[in-house]
Amino acid sequence: MTKRTRRTHGPTFKAKVALAAIKGEKTLAELAKLFDVHPGQITAWKAQLQEGAAGVFGSGPATEAVPPVDLKLLHAKIGELTLEKDFLFRRAQQGRPAERQAMINRWHELPVVRQAALLQVSRSSVYALPRPVPPARLAIMHRIDMLHLEHPFAGSRMLRDLLRAEGVVIGRVAVATLMRRMGIEALYRRPNTSKPAPGHKIYPYLLRGLVIDRPNQVWAMDITYIPMARGFVYLAAVLDWFSRRVLAWRLSITLEAEFCIDAVQDALARHGKPEIFNTDQGSQFTSAAFTGMLQDQAIRISMDGRGAWRDNVFVERLWRSVKYEEVYLRAYDSVSEARTSLGRYLAFYNGRRPHSSLGARTPERAYLDHLPPAMAA
């Protein structure tokens, strides 16, 4: 077996790949195949470009004389950095394997072997070559998604048996792996046998017994898997609980917190703010960046019981409508096509589709009819 020669990519190539990822017109698998670069590296370059972009629009401070070294201050700073390193180390280990693998930077001064050890990532997975998802596997993922909507309580064993009954030869481990990749799990009330990991605070569920009788009282958010002809993307939506109106949504080729934060910021800018914001316990929603954004707006945070779909039932109903009335009727060839088509459907869902639970009104009408006159205008 010939050993693959380690390649060195220049800044221009990295910028080109990162810009393509930010543009979001192709899935991560398609970009990896196009540029022959590992998906984790694409994610890392994208993050580096976003972090450094602000420097383009501002000049650095003027050069000043180097002050004398204060040893006491230096020792205090070393202690502070040691505490911060320990904190970040623990936080990094709490993420999913795919999230931790995306943190690997092969061009950092810290050796890849050491990075993998710190993040508890298999070194072989870091060097693995990207492979597009085979069409047969995409078809199975599509069917799992449909079965999950029909039977949200079904775990990997039941889904395996349901697939086998349809003639699909697959094992339970393979089904469980695909479910993790799709970001879905069986939905049922589980005993509270574990506590949240340090650094990932889980907030209580605030909606039980609460009378929700006006717009902007409670907003909810969730993420769902969207199959495409070649690959898949993730859809995040912010929903007004009272009216069922979709206030903002975003599509992403990666399962990160950033596109969720972007959607919430868009909703806040256009619709004001809610009293309570409800999500599930996904790592995107328990991240410090996401919860900190809500706390800065003095918004109370509510989180579903783990695996309890009824705690966020209206978002689950939205996903069912989106998939059966839009996604499953099409096979998107590109991310831009998916974004355009989903935008057209969600505009229909908000402004033209009547809801029996709203007295045959549309979500948009129900939302606007109950706003204060100043906001409705």
* Highest-pLDDT range among 94-108, 127-141, 265-279: 265-279
User: What architecture is the 218-376 domain classified under in CATH?
Assistant: 2-Layer Sandwich (3.30)
**Residue 232 CB contacts under 8 Å (≥ 6 apart), including other chains:** 27, 133, 138, 141, 182, 225, 226
- State the average pLDDT over residues 88-98: 62
Report residue 257's pLDDT band, with 50, 70 and 90 as the boundaries: confident
**Residue 363 CB contacts under 8 Å (≥ 6 apart), including other chains:** 240, 243, 244, 245, 246, 349, 350, 353, 355
* Whole-angstrom distance, CA of residue 287 vs CA of residue 295: 12
Taking alpha carbons only, the member of 183, 173, 206 closest to residue 319 is 183
Q: Answer positive or negative: Cα dihedral of 145, 146, 147, 151.
A: positive
One-letter-per-residue 3-state SS of 26-50? CCHHHHHHHHCCCHHHHHHHHHHHH
Report residue 241's pLDDT band, with 50, 70 and 90 as the boundaries: very high
| Strand, coil or helix: 56 | helix
Which pLDDT belongs to residue 44? 81
Which pLDDT belongs to residue 243? 94
Which pLDDT belongs to residue 245? 95
Report residue 348's pLDDT band, with 50, 70 and 90 as the boundaries: very high
Neighbour-count burial for 360-370, b at 16+ CB within 10 Å, e otherwise: ebbbbbbbbee
- State the average pLDDT over residues 40-67: 69
Which pLDDT belongs to residue 130? 57
**Residue 298 CB contacts under 8 Å (≥ 6 apart), including other chains:** none
Which pLDDT belongs to residue 376? 53
Work out the number of other CB atoms within 10 angstroms of the CB of residue 224.
Answer: 22
Per-residue pLDDT for 260 more than 80? Answer: yes
On whether the CB atoms of residues 24 and 251 are closer than 8 A, the answer is: yes
Which pLDDT belongs to residue 11? 82
> Identity (one letter) of the amino acid at 348?
F
The residue extents of the domains of the chain are: 15-48+90-132, 135-182, 218-376
Per-residue pLDDT for 190 more than 60? Answer: no
* Residues 20-46 pLDDT 10s: 888 888 888 788 888 888 877 888 888
Taking alpha carbons only, the member of 341, 258, 321 closest to residue 293 is 258
Q: Among 74-83, 329-338, 353-362, which stretch is predicted with the lowest mean pLDDT?
A: 74-83
Per-residue pLDDT for 271 more than 50? Answer: yes
* Whole-angstrom distance, CA of residue 241 vs CA of residue 239: 6
Report residue 8's pLDDT band, with 50, 70 and 90 as the boundaries: confident
Residue with the two structure tokens 């509270």: 192
Which pLDDT belongs to residue 294? 95
Q: Among 1-15, 208-222, 353-367, which stretch is predicted with the lowest mean pLDDT?
A: 1-15
Work out the number of other CB atoms within 10 angstroms of the CB of residue 249.
Answer: 21
